[in-house]
Amino acid sequence: MHIIRRFEWDAAHRLPDHEGLCSNIHGHRYKAEIQLEGEITRCTGSLNGMVVDFGALKTVLGGWIKTHWDHACLLSVDDDHPAVKAIREAEDMRVYLFDLSPTVEVLTEHLAKVVEELMALNIALNDLKVTAVRIWETPNCSAVWTKGS
């Protein structure tokens, strides 16, 4: 059985090598869909009939997104623009750095790896397999990571 949990957050980013407007710091309302595979629980109790309690996914996966990406500046570690330097040096600014330009493709691949790690560490979730992660950067543009791709 496949289940999907959706998360939403706001963040700014900059694509330093972009030849258009995206080389400027700008924001998005991101949406992520995380698809997991598991067996339906057949037991007595609150998990009966579920693959997993969606609340557990909200706590673990949503908690990571909220802590690291929500209302943050998602930037490239190699970006040496003066404005980026100032943001990284500001003590009260939330910044998350990537080895590559923080495109929706890079965010999607990164989140897939994070989700796999979080699932492995959480006993209530480690029987599930991550099969796909999709992040929407705009209502019309998204990237999808699938297991094995």
Q: 94 to each of 52, 67, 72, 77, 124, how far by Cα in Å?
A: 31, 9, 5, 14, 30
Query: Counting Cβ atoms within 10 Å, is residue 53 exposed (0-12), middle (13-18) or buried (19+)?
Result: middle
Q: Which two tokens stand for residue 110?
A: 């990164």
Question: What pLDDT score was predicted for residue 3?
Answer: 95
CATH number of 2-146: 3.30.479.10
DSSP letter at 128 equals -
What digits encode the pLDDT tens for the residues 80-138?
A: 888 888 888 888 899 999 999 999 999 999 999 999 999 999 887 878 999 999 999 99
pLDDT band at 31 (very low <50, low <70, confident <90, very high): very high
Question: What pLDDT score was predicted for residue 43?
Answer: 82
Domain ranges of the chain: 2-146
